[in-house]
Amino acid sequence: MMQNTYARTAMTPRARRALVALAVVAAALVLALPLHGVRGTLHAVTALVPRPGHSATPFAGQLLVYGRHGLTASEVSVLRAAAPGQVTAVHGGELAVRGASTSYPTVPVEAFTVDAAAYARAAGVSSLRHQLESGVVLSRTGAALRHLGAGGHLLLDSGRTLPVTAVVEDRVLGGYELATTEAVLGHPAGSAASYLLLDSGTDSGQTARRLRAALPSRDLRVEAHTVNGLMSSSDTVLTQAQIKAAFGEFGVRTGTDGQLHLESTWEQRWITSTRIPQLGVVTCNRKVVGPLRAAMEEITRRGLGSLVHTADFQREGGCWNPRVQRLGGGQLSAHAWGIAVDINVDVNPLGATPHQDPRLVAIMAAHGFTWGGRFLRPDGAHFEWFGAPRSG
């Protein structure tokens, strides 16, 4: 999960409790990560928290705004004029970081560049400005994965090193692993703005209406609260950092055939092939096999097998596929981790109006899969593991 274009879905109390439990497990997994990864100086991880006089909750009074494929500079200008206060544009993407493996030397890291002063104000953490202007700020998960803390140095795939100036709670970076400025990095992390943060004003509903009216041709998501609690466009799925916390990360290389190849030790540990009712043989992440099997067994038990086109799944669908997102700016797809499954592709082409039976969507949701039919760019065949039961 990267710029994501996902719509927000409601969450039941049961799902919220399950999500909290997942977060606890993910945090524990981060602390237990083995010492593999980017070369650098290891220092004690120091947390950056809001100082007295600042909001203890990052992004208080802020709205999250994003659109399909991001927002162009001209669109951001239009929204700035319509917004009641400051607008902060966040340019997200993936940064190529040097890994420990010589065979798979590149580790993709989800990062963003931003105006330091504007972002610090939006987050309610004034000291972030200097930290971002002086180097890179890591999230706690990013720091654990990199085995770096404040004072360390991040080694990029290009051979360049960047100083690590602070480590912050994941939510301060919206679930991203790393943040800095364009001046420090030398280029924006993404050409389009992945999302905006802006003052909600005295009436957030009125502000949302003004923004949508300013860009009537764009389907904008304007949110004051998100399903996963993170103020970024990865607001309804697991972020790449959360996926890595649960499954570890891998180095990659591009073969002479142009295909993406993942670190073989990671693949051997996490990817498996097994037979699942209604689908046939599925190659998927070991942790996702159980929920997927349970969903298909429920479909079988309820006599709903006709909802799944088995032949199409074997021909066009599937689960694990080490590739980047389609139309996603070269960022890794959830399929690369084997946590997303495509069902009934024949009647649900990417970007078209979805044609999935609501009963299939509800059953998959009950077993922890969010549905791509609600993404801003609809992907009706796509079901992505979230780890908590969801409303259908």
pTM of the entire predicted model: 0.82
Percent of the chain topping pLDDT 90:
70
Q: What is the pLDDT of residue 326?
A: 54
Say if residue 164 is in the same domain as residue 305.
Answer: no
Q: Distances in Å between the alpha carbon of 269 and those of 27, 105, 337?
A: 20, 19, 11
Instruction: Select the more confidently predicted residue: 116 or 42.
Output: 116
* Ranges 79-83, 99-103, 120-124, 159-163: which has the least confidence: 99-103
Query: Within 13 A of 43's CA, how many CA atoms are on the CB side?
Result: 15
Q: What is the pLDDT of residue 38?
A: 34
**321 contacts 313 by C-beta, under 8 angstroms:** no
Per-residue pLDDT tens for 50-70?
333 344 689 999 999 999 889
The residues, ordered by sequence, that sit 6+ positions from 312 with a Cβ below 8 Å of its Cβ are 344, 345, 346
Nearest to 9 by CA among 252, 270, 245, 362: 362
**231 contacts 64 by C-beta, under 8 angstroms:** yes
Per-residue pLDDT tens for 267-314?
999 999 999 999 999 999 999 999 999 999 999 999 999 999 999 999
Q: Rounded to an integer, what distance in angstroms lies between the CA atom of residue 255 and that of residue 264?
A: 14
Q: What is the pLDDT of residue 257?
A: 80
The residues, ordered by sequence, that sit 6+ positions from 82 with a Cβ below 8 Å of its Cβ are 210, 211, 213, 214
Q: What is the pLDDT of residue 36?
A: 35
Say if residue 41 is in the same domain as residue 126.
Answer: yes
The residues, ordered by sequence, that sit 6+ positions from 190 with a Cβ below 8 Å of its Cβ are 3, 70, 91, 92, 93, 112, 113, 329
Say if residue 230 is in the same domain as residue 267.
Answer: no
Highest-pLDDT range among 26-40, 202-216, 352-366: 352-366
Last residue of a domain, one of 215, 247, 279: 247
Helix (H) or strand (E) holding 270: helix 264-270
Q: Is position 254 within any domain? A: no
- SS3 state of residue 42: coil
Query: Within 13 A of 24's CA, how many CA atoms are on the CB side?
Result: 6
Q: Which amino acid is at 31?
A: L
Helix (H) or strand (E) holding 144: helix 140-146
- SS3 state of residue 94: strand
Per-residue pLDDT tens for 65-82?
999 889 999 999 999 999
Per-residue pLDDT tens for 305-349?
999 999 999 999 999 998 876 544 568 899 999 999 999 999 999
Read off φ and ψ for residue 166, nearest 5 degrees: -165, 160
| Overall domain count for the chain | 2
Say if residue 167 is in the same domain as residue 284.
Answer: no
Q: What is the pLDDT of residue 311?
A: 96
Percent of the chain topping pLDDT 70:
83
Say if residue 207 is in the same domain as residue 96.
Answer: yes
Helix (H) or strand (E) holding 19: helix 13-31
Find the CATH number of the domain harbouring 322.
3.30.1380
Q: Residue 102 sits in which domain range?
A: 13-247
Q: What is the pLDDT of residue 56?
A: 65
Per-residue pLDDT tens for 104-153?
999 999 999 999 999 999 999 999 999 999 999 999 999 999 999 999 99
Instruction: Select the more confidently predicted residue: 123 or 351.
Output: 123
Q: What is the pLDDT of residue 46?
A: 34
Q: What is the pLDDT of residue 259?
A: 83
Q: Rounded to an integer, what distance in angstroms lies between the CA atom of residue 283 and that of residue 231?
A: 33
Checking if the pLDDT of 361 tops 80, the result is yes
Is residue 90 left, alpha or beta, with left meaning phi > 0 and alpha meaning psi from -120 to 50?
A: beta
Q: Is position 143 within any domain? A: yes
Mean confidence (pLDDT) of the chain:
85
Q: For the residues of 182-229, what is the DSSP string, one character each?
A: HHHHSS-S-SSBSEEEEE--S-HHHHHHHHHHHSTTS-EEEESS-TTS
Say if residue 318 is in the same domain as residue 237.
Answer: no
